[in-house]
Amino acid sequence: MSHAERAHVVELLQKAVALGLIDLDEFSDRADQALTSRTREELNVLLVDLPGLVVAPLPEHTPLNLKLTSSSLVRNGRWTVPPAVNVQARAGEMRLDFSEAEFLSRVVEIDIDILGCNLDITVGRTTVIDSIDLENRFGFFRDRTRSPRVEPEHRLRLSGIARGSSIRIRNARS
């Protein structure tokens, strides 16, 4: 569930106030619920009883495509991470530092297709790595992240294939 989806529902509730479908108290209650919702079902409940409200489609997030051939690519500092990231690399080096990134969703699907590459991934202390669907052929894979002591804020799901490549995952230094 992204902040954009919650904001979209609040905009629809504002339109409902302008159309006289709900009063300001009702708007306040529903907006508070929208901003703390964790599922789309919780958001839908806030809108389902509002007649005549045209529901625009929720904004779609385009996957981030990171491609390189015989070169290097670095993403670090503050950058926006959409719900899907595609990593495609041939004979190069890629460093992805998610420790200061702004995530648009709690779960990020990262599809990997690399050949003869070094891929270094750095994550914050409250990010969990799920690499069960990642196939590694003739390469090196090391996940040195530690399980967070608190509820994880984000989960990176790695899938795809790495051939003759090195993948290293670690937590950011404190």
Q: What is the mean pLDDT of each run of 10 residues along the chain (174 residues)?
A: 80 86 90 88 84 58 92 94 96 97 94 98 95 96 87 94 98 88
pLDDT at 136: 96
Distance CA 157, CA 135 (A): 13
Q: What is the pLDDT of residue 2?
A: 73
pLDDT score of 1: 58
Please report the pLDDT score of residue 118 as a whole number: 98
> Residue 74 half-sphere exposure, CB side, CA atoms within 13 Å?
2
Q: How far apart are CA 69 and CA 73, in angstroms?
A: 10
pLDDT at 163 (0 to 100): 98
Q: What pLDDT score does 52 carry?
A: 64
pLDDT of residue 9: 86
85, two tokens: 């990231």
What global pTM score does this model have?
0.67
Give strand pairing partners of 156: 108, 129
- How many degrees, rounded to 5, is the angle at CA 81 between CA 76 and CA 82? 160
The tokens 């002591």 sit on which residue? 149
What does the pLDDT read at residue 53?
Answer: 58
> What pLDDT is stored for residue 101 in this prediction?
95
